[in-house]
Amino acid sequence: MLRPCQGLLLVSETIQLAPNAENKCFGCGGANDAGMLLAFEQDNVNRRIVGKFVMGERYQGGAGMLHGGIIALLLDEAMGKVCRFREVRAVTADMNIDFLRPIRVDQEIVVEAFETGARGRNLFHMGEIRDAAGAVLARGRARFVIVGTEQGMV
């Protein structure tokens, strides 16, 4: 279904962001043999990036809990993809993570990110990891700096 969004015509309300076979990104790329192959959904109506995952034992820190670095990576990946709504390329400049509750490696989680503001080349994003019941397990805030557009570098 085509819907207008802030004066633009959307191709669809949601876009599946599968790993790109030419991208070597550890988190979302398809060309990294050691990568995580993370897939997300781009919600064009609500301007949010959403992913649902069960991470598994491979990403365990200790005692069956998800490693803190992997939690940070999931939030960084989701928040980074929010740049797609502005059709820009940006890099993470600052990121802060609140680890609110332990995340088991065998539980289903939802990772969601959105923009909270912009100033010049700086984009401010927020992301959350929630359990199936909606409880927030981790929250991230980040500043991204625009380094280019989808057509080229700044």
By three-state DSSP, how is residue 6 classified?
coil
* Predicted local confidence at residue 83, as pLDDT: 97
- The structure's pTM equals 0.88
By three-state DSSP, how is residue 17 classified?
strand
Confidence of residue 153 (pLDDT cuts 50, 70, 90): low
What are the backbone dihedrals phi and psi of residue 11, each rounded to the nearest 5 degrees, phi first?
A: -70, -40
Segment 39-45 shows an average pLDDT of: 96
66-113 residue pLDDT tens: 999 999 999 999 999 999 999 999 999 999 999 999 999 999 999 999
Q: Which residues contact 152 (CB under 8 A, 6 or more apart)?
A: none
Domain 4-153 CATH assignment equals 3.10.129.10: yes
Q: What are the tokens at 79?
A: 């928040």
DSSP 8-class letter at 76: H
**Predicted confidence (pLDDT) at residue 3 exceeds the cutoff of 80:** no
* Predicted local confidence at residue 2, as pLDDT: 39
CA separation for the pair 115, 124 (Å, rounded): 6
Average pLDDT, the chain: 91
